[in-house]
Structure 1
Amino acid sequence: MVLCQAGDIIVGNVFSGKRKGLLKRIDYSTDKEAARVYIKQYGITQAPALLFLDTQGKLLWMPLGELSEKDI
């Protein structure tokens, strides 16, 4: 399974119903310019990265690397 597909499944299971509206997905493989902004701003050094931001864009939590659904 492609890594992006696995991420879609995990995030899709965690963010369902009303929470899905809180999700914004930026994938480096499909939107390099948007992803570069986040990589630079938040100092991402390892992929994949999952960023949880508040409504003002302040970082709340950023796990890096492989994650399981229970880790999220």
Structure 2
Amino acid sequence: MRLVVDLNRCQGFAQCVFLAPDVFTLHGEEALMFSPLFDEARREQVEQAVAACPVQAILVDYSDEPTQGAEPGVG
């Protein structure tokens, strides 16, 4: 799983920081820092942070996960 934040869209509301503090941090008043790769243990927190972003600046790429019903290596 990979995290992408559109920093041009992000306005530093920091809801993501409160919901997933191990993934997102706010430096100063506006500099959002984040870990682009996160593990399954943080998935629920990250999904809550994505949903809470008022400007929808956070995207999660699940493309490395196998497609349901697909054979390994296919998809």
TM-score (norm. length: structure 1): 0.23
Tell which structure's C-alpha radius of gyration is larger.
2
Determine which structure has greater relative contact order: mean sequence separation of CA pairs < 8 Å that are 6+ residues apart, divided by chain length: 2
TM-score (norm. length: structure 2): 0.22
